[in-house]
Amino acid sequence: MSNLRTTQLQDIQNMLEQQGYITDKSVAMSVFLSLQLNKPLLVEGPAGVGKTEIAKVMANALKTDLIRLQCYEGLDATHALYEWNYQRQLLHLKMTEHDSHSVDEKEKTIFSDAFLMKRPLLQAITHHQKPVLLIDEIDRSDEEFESFLLEMLSDWQITIPEIGTMKATFIPQVILTSNRTRELSEALRRRCLYLYIDYPDFEKEWLIVKNRVPGVDAKLGAQITRFMQELRLLKLEKTPGIAETIDWAVALSVLHVDHLDKTTIEQTLGVVLKEWRDTRQVQMSLSELMEKTKIHSKFDSP
């Protein structure tokens, strides 16, 4: 970690790119500042633009562990922090029923580390080195959980009634992601640095495709990328992200396709679009889309 002090912006960008994450200056800057200031980074943006990926890449680059907390509605402190292993505790008591230990001693044993099930947040705080803690899709959790998180993010400690307060051995590098399905509280935002990632432009996306799908035919890759760029301009229920572009490129190169044409697109549209209404809409405006992306089917033009 100590060498990070001297790491500069360009180095961060290189570091991310070495891990296969194509990025731009704004992402590199956010990661850089987040590391330097040791502050959580809140990443927002549409689905499939690589928000979660940042955390994975950071963990790889820093050679540390990634601890992931997937948020969902109804997520509460017991699922995020810790839980006592009741069954084991009971069994233990049963087995030691005839021991001569006092009640106090017994209590001490059953409320010890051996019976504590650490959930992601506690894991992150008690980790043996500085981990990357990914709190994924925070907007899916309830407001109560968000408030609970505030306490942890500012003090870096957790209180367990039976044991006492556990202070963080290393302050984790926190990445929070959100799809903006719910507005996050101002208090949470204030504790984080902010980054918004949008859909990439053509050059960036093409680079990503090249990087992630090395075997892809150059002409096909460029066509796919251009097609996706146009596709995102349509009003779709669920706009496809980079993840879909990569999936498509992989699928087509596995099929040994070397260029796009109408039938190929129609047959493989399911890789990209996940709503039947979208599929129908794209099918109807397919010729127009192909016109725009300058893809000509060999059947269309003589």
Partner 1 sequence: MIGRLTSLSKNIVQFCIFLRSKGFAVGVEEEAIMLEVLQFLDYTSYEAFFMSLKTVLCRSKTQWDAFDKLFREYWEQVSQAVDAKLKAETKKKKQPVSRQQQFSSLMAWMKGNKNKEAEETAAYSMNEALSRKDFSAVPESEVDELMRCIRNLSRRLAAKANRRYEFTRKIDLPDLRKTLRRNLRRGGELIDIIYRRPKRNRLKLLLLCDVSKSMELYSAFLLQFMYAFQQVYNRMETFVFSTSLKRITPLLKQKNFHDTLELLSTESDGWRAGTRIGESLHAFVEDYSRKLVDSGTIVIILSDGWDMGNIDMLQKSMKIIQEKTKKVIWLNPLAGYAAYRPDVAGMKAAMPYIDVFAPVYNAESLRTLTKWL
The residues of the shown chain that bind partner 1, judged by CB under 8 A, are 5, 8-9, 25-26, 29-30, 33, 36-37, 39, 44, 74, 76, 78-79, 83, 86-87, 90-91, 94, 180, 186, 189-190, 193-196, 237
User: In terms of CB distance, is 95 or 103 closer to partner 1?
Assistant: 95
CB atoms within 10 A of CB 27: 20
User: In terms of CB distance, is 194 or 202 closer to partner 1?
Assistant: 194
Residues near 260 by beta carbon (within 8 Å), at least 6 away in sequence: 220, 223, 224, 227, 252, 290, 295
CB of 302 to partner 1, least distance (A): 41
DSSP string covering 195-256? EE-----HHHHHHHHHHH-TT--HHHHHHHHHHHHHHTTS--SS---HHHHHHHHHHHHHTT
CA 214, 219, 222 angle in degrees (round to 5)? 80
CB of 182 to partner 1, least distance (A): 9
CB of 78 to partner 1, least distance (A): 6
In sign, the C-alpha dihedral spanning 212, 27, 68, 118 is positive
Nearest C-alpha neighbor of 71 from the set 143, 122, 127: 143
DSSP 150: H
**Cα–Cα distance between 270 and 244 in angstroms, integer?**
10
CB of 35 to partner 1, least distance (A): 10
User: In terms of CB distance, is 92 or 212 closer to partner 1?
Assistant: 92
User: In terms of CB distance, is 6 or 301 closer to partner 1?
Assistant: 6
Give a three-class secondary structure readout of 112-124. CHHHEEECHHHHH
User: In terms of CB distance, is 76 or 107 closer to partner 1?
Assistant: 76
User: In terms of CB distance, is 91 or 234 closer to partner 1?
Assistant: 91
Q: Please give the structure tokens belonging to residue 90.
A: 């009971």
CB of 111 to partner 1, least distance (A): 16
CB of 44 to partner 1, least distance (A): 6
